[in-house]
Each structure stands twice: as structure tokens, then as C-alpha cells.
Amino acid sequence: MENGVVYNETTEPQAKPPRHPLGCTLRHLRQWRRLTKALQAILSLLAVICEEIVEDCIKCGGLYFFEFTSFSAFLLSLLVLCVYCTDAYETFGEDKVQKV
């Protein structure tokens, strides 16, 4: 019992798992789902751009609704890609991601 220490350290500090570059990982989303979500994001952004080209309309209510839905689809598909393809999936946990 030297220096008042009764127990020696018996465990090694846990090594942190290797980090991915920019936090990107592709293992949580299958390839066909990843491609589908990327295509959805591209097409919804294209829809927003095409909607912005329209200069004159008689009844613009439908056009504004289309703009809202296509931009919402763009943002939500980007959110899904960010959650599943970054370290956020491990940070939040699978059960919380599935609930959302």
C-alpha cells in the first residue's frame, strides 16, 4: 500500500471508434434507398426551380401549394439523408430515429 493507493487501475480507457471523414457513413441506408432519396431531393429541387420560372399566372393558389409541397419534400429528403448518412444516427440512437 504505497502512497495510500489501495487499488491499481485494472481497466484501460475505452478507445473511441474511428471517425468518418466529415461524419459521413453509408451503412445505415441501403444503396437503393440512398439513391431514391438523392433522386427525390434532386427532383424536388428541380420542381422548385421550375416553379420559380413562372412569371404570370391567373389563379396562383395551386402554384403556391405546389411550391410549398416541393420545397418541403426537398428539405425533408435532405434531412433524411443527413440523419442516416452522418453520425447523427448513432448520436440520437436507432429507437429515437425510428420514432421520428
What confidence tens digit (pLDDT) does each residue in 33-51 have? 778 888 888 999 999 998 8
Residue 2 — very low, low, confident or very high, per pLDDT cuts 50/70/90?
Answer: low
User: What is the predicted pLDDT for the residue at 85?
Assistant: 77
Range of the domain at 78: 28-98
- Among 81, 97, 87, 89, smallest CA distance to 19 is for 87
Angle in degrees, CA 68, 74, 76, rounded to 5: 100
Domain contains 45 = yes
pTM of the model: 0.64
Domain contains 1 = no
Instruction: State mean pLDDT over 79-92.
Output: 78
Domain contains 23 = no
Q: Where are the beta strands (DSSP E) in the chain?
A: none
User: What is the predicted pLDDT for the residue at 70?
Assistant: 93
Q: Which residue has the higher pLDDT, 86 or 70?
A: 70
Domain count along the chain: 1
Say whether pLDDT at 7 is over 70.
Answer: no
Domain contains 91 = yes
Say whether pLDDT at 10 is over 70.
Answer: no
